[in-house]
Amino acid sequence: MDITFKQVDYTYQADSPMATLGLRDINLHFKSGTYNAIIGQTGSGKSTLLQHLNALLIPTKGEVVIGQQVVTPQTKNKELYDLRRKVGLVFQFPESQLFEETVLKDVAFAPKNFGKSVAEADEIARRALRLVGIAPELEDKMPFDLSGGQMRRVAIAGVLAMEPEVLVLDEPTAGLDPVGREEMMTLFAKIQSERNLTVILVTHQMDDVVRYAEQVVVMEQGRVLKTGQPQEIFADIPWLHQHNLELPSTGRLVQQLQQQGFQFSQVPLTVPELLAQLTPQLKQVVTYE
Ligand SMILES: Nc1ncnc2c1ncn2[C@@H]1O[C@H](COP(=O)(O)OP(=O)(O)OP(=O)(O)O)[C@@H](O)[C@H]1O
């Protein structure tokens, strides 16, 4: 599903003395089936923007077009039922929202709620559980008897069981160890390609942005500062510093190598790119010595 923001403002507590502008003049396009990342400092508006993707918040000015659905300040809640089914939102620490007495019931809750029979909903739930790597023998356990990583997978299966076309991920690997993070990110990439989903990921992990995102959106103070491919966003190290944005790990290494006199025509974003530029220079050093 294509998603377009047209001149969107969002004001918290509009028409009150406490009014705070959360988003200002957002113009953005997320192409159907692509993997997008949103980055920016704390308070830059990332979560506010995400909540517009399934109309948890609706713009106070402008419009958001999600597939066929146009959401404007006048849109009524009852018009948004279909949209909410098509856009799955994985919040930070989604496991905190598990509530049913068994794993299977928890995952089957959404499809039942959206009108499927019990048998159909259970079948959809089992498919989603297999996709996230939860074995059949865990289906009858209480969610809270599982490990933290398994609970998170169950919560994600609950979102996938809605069979969404768009998957919105708000720091989905927060609190996981490096192995758990890697597994989770690989899982999202697999789901995206298998189900041809549009993915929109908010993260502070720049290595994940470089590895997975086709488009990166940089936010600052409620505005979009820049959009582009990772190569365009991470090419300018002084610009990243100026806006307090982290570098991917290769970027940090490149900085140290530059201080030692090594030169890079463009900032390498992956280890193979780094090696391709570094190896000839290392050979020269060895030759001179
Ligand atoms: N419920 C709220 N009421 C009033 N202001 C809010 C509310 N939620 C967020 N804001 C304000 O809106 C702005 C954008 O906040 P938002 O949470 O979208 O940023 P963020 O980039 O997601 O931050 P973080 O990385 O910490 O999650 C901030 O100035 C914030 O203080």
pLDDT of residue 15: 87
Residue nearest to atom 13 of ligand 1 (CA): 22
pLDDT of residue 251: 86
Laid out side by side, the sheet with 223-228 consists of 87-90, 166-170, 198-202, 35-40, 215-220, 223-228
pLDDT of residue 166: 97
- Domain ranges in the chain? 3-247, 248-289
Q: Are the beta carbons of 53 and 198 closer than 8 angstroms?
A: no
Angle between helices 148-160 and 103-113 (to 10 degrees): 20
pLDDT of residue 58: 96
What distance in angstroms lies between residue 203's CA and the mean position of ligand 1's atoms? 15
Across 67-177, the runs of DSSP E, i.e. the strands, are: 69-71, 87-90, 166-170
CA-nearest of 211, 195, 198 to 131 is 195
Residue nearest to atom 31 of ligand 1 (CA): 43
pLDDT of residue 287: 66
pLDDT of residue 82: 87
pLDDT of residue 289: 60
pLDDT of residue 126: 97
Q: Are the beta carbons of 67 and 114 closer than 8 angstroms?
A: no
pLDDT of residue 288: 64
CA-nearest of 80, 81, 61 to 15 is 61
Residue nearest to atom 14 of ligand 1 (CA): 45
Give me the interface pTM, i.e. the ipTM: 0.97
Mutate to test the pocket of ligand 1, among 10, 11, 46 (most ligand atoms within 8 A of CB): 46
pLDDT of residue 237: 87
Degrees (nearest 5) of the Cα angle 68, 73, 74?
80
Q: Which residues of the chain have pLDDT under 50?
A: none
Q: Which CATH class is domain 3-247?
A: alpha beta
Q: Ligand 1: which residues within 6 Å by Cβ?
A: 12, 20, 22, 40, 42-48
